[in-house]
Amino acid sequence: MTADAAAFASLPALARRVGLDSLGKLVLSMPAFHIPADRDDVRQRVGAIWGAYSGRDVLEDHVPSNRSPLAAMDQLGRIRAPTLILVGDADGAFFHQIADSLAARIPAARRATVQGGGHVVHMLAPARFNAVLDAFLRSVDHR
Digit-coded pLDDT (tens) for 11-61: 788 888 888 888 888 877 877 777 888 999 998 998 898 888 888 777 776
Long-range contacts (CB closer than 8 Å, 24 or more residues apart) made by 92-96: 92/4, 92/30, 92/31, 92/32, 92/118, 93/2, 93/4, 94/2, 94/4, 94/5, 94/8, 95/4, 95/32, 95/119
Q: What is the mean pLDDT of the chain?
A: 84
Q: What is the pTM of this model?
A: 0.73
pLDDT of 65 above 80: no
pLDDT of 6 above 80: no
pLDDT of 66 above 60: no
**Domain spans in the chain, listed from the N-terminal domain onward:** 3-139
Percent of the chain with pLDDT over 70: 87
Per residue in 114-133, pLDDT tens? Answer: 998 888 999 999 999 999 99
Using CA atoms, how far apart are residues 120 and 106, in angstroms rounded to an integer?
Answer: 24
Quick check: 39 and 124 in contact, CB under 8 A?
yes
- The class level of CATH for 3-139 reads alpha beta
